[in-house]
DNA sequence: ATGCCGTGGAAACCACGA
């Protein structure tokens, strides 16, 4: 079974690219982030026509997450994270897809740091840690997938020294990611490729893609049940070269049934 | 070193992203 995550950066503006990628790579389950679409404008018909069921949690203009599945029943478990009644940003949705619980995550960017946006990011990370701990206790196979907006280590940044003070790479954020993983999660890409330079994001300008000046910020975290089912993982790097493409690259894993 | 690009929404510029 192939599962993918893709920050589309606008699901409507990027619909041709999304459909082309779905057709070309045929993942069974897909997590999408940055829909930038209110719920009523989510392109459900086009996605259904492409053979996918969909659950989505959008909002006007920004954020937004969705989970798609092909030939697998999908049932929503919940949306949003507990712990902040004021939080109205659509960044989290959870669904049972077949036997696997999928959490689709769009973690806040957090820049500029320090500041209220950075504080919000750290708080959000704590709320995610709380939910992740609950999920581990369920004794269900769980996948946390999405745009975590953190480069976990120096290996995940083209030029680490330039990012030291950035909200995606500050020690507090790297520590938060490490603390999450240390609950018992497996970083799928790093389990299979502990030392490879693998990026999932390239800026639109400064020829970042051509220079390979990238970041690894989109991740798959697997619960212990799935650890030994992981047989392959990778990124669809060529998609970043397509016309009208997102600045992120799809990431995928393959699990044995 | 830097939103230099790109999206969406509202208004013909702005907020936001990483």
CA of A208 to C1' of B1 (A): 15
- Residue A170 burial (CB count, 10 A): 21
pLDDT tens digits for A176-217?
999 999 999 999 999 999 999 999 999 999 899 999 999 999
Domain ranges of chain A: 2-255
Q: Give A2-255's CATH code, choosing from 3.60.10.10, 3.30.70.270, 3.60.40.10, 1.20.1560.10.
A: 3.60.10.10
The phi, psi pair for A232, rounded to 5°, reads -160, 155
Only one residue has tokens 């976990």, namely A152
Q: Is A90's CB less than 7 Å from nucleic acid strand B?
A: no
Nucleic chain B contacts, protein chain A, residues 129-188, CB cut-off 7 A:
147, 149, 162, 166-168
pLDDT tens digits for A100-138?
999 999 999 999 999 999 999 999 999 999 999 999 999
The phi, psi pair for A50, rounded to 5°, reads -80, -5
Instruction: Give the tokens for residue A248.
Output: 């992120």
A199 is catalytic: no
Are the C-beta atoms of residues A33 and A250 closer than 8 Å to each other? no
Q: Is the pTM of this model over 0.75?
A: yes
Does position A171 have pLDDT exceeding 90, yes or no?
yes
Nearest residue for B5, CA–C1': A204
- Residue A203: CA count within 13 A, CB half-sphere: 8
């Amino acid at each position: 079974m192939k599962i993918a995550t893709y920050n589309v950066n606008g699901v409507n503006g990027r619909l041709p690219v999304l459909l082309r990628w779905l057709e070309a790579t045929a993942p069974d389950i897909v997590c999408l982030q940055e829909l930038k679409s209110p719920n009523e404008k989510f392109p459900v018909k086009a996605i259904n026509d492409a053979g996918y069921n969909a659950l989505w949690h959008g909002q006007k203009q920004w954020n937004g997450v969705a989970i798609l599945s092909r030939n697998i029943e999908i049932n929503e478990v919940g949306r949003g994270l507990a712990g902040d009644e004021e939080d109205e940003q659509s960044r989290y949705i959870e669904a049972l897809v077949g036997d696997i619980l999928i959490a689709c995550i769009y973690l806040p960017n957090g820049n500029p740091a320090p500041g209220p946006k950075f504080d919000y990011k750290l708080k959000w990370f704590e709320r995610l840690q709380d939910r992740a701990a609950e999920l581990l206790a369920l004794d269900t196979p769980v996948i946390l997938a999405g745009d975590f907006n953190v480069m976990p280590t120096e290996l995940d940044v083209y030029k680490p020294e330039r990012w030291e003070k950035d909200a995606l790479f500050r020690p507090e954020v790297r520590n938060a990611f490490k603390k999450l993983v240390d609950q018992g999660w497996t970083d799928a890409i790093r389990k299979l490729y502990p030392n490879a330079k693998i990026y999932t994001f390239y800026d639109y300008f400064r020829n970042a893609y051509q220079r390979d000046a990238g970041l690894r910020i989109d991740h798959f975290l697997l619960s212990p049940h799935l650890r030994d089912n992981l047989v392959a993982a990778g990124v669809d790097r060529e998609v970043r070269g397509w016309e009208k493409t997102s600045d992120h690259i799809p990431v995928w894993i393959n699990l044995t049934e």
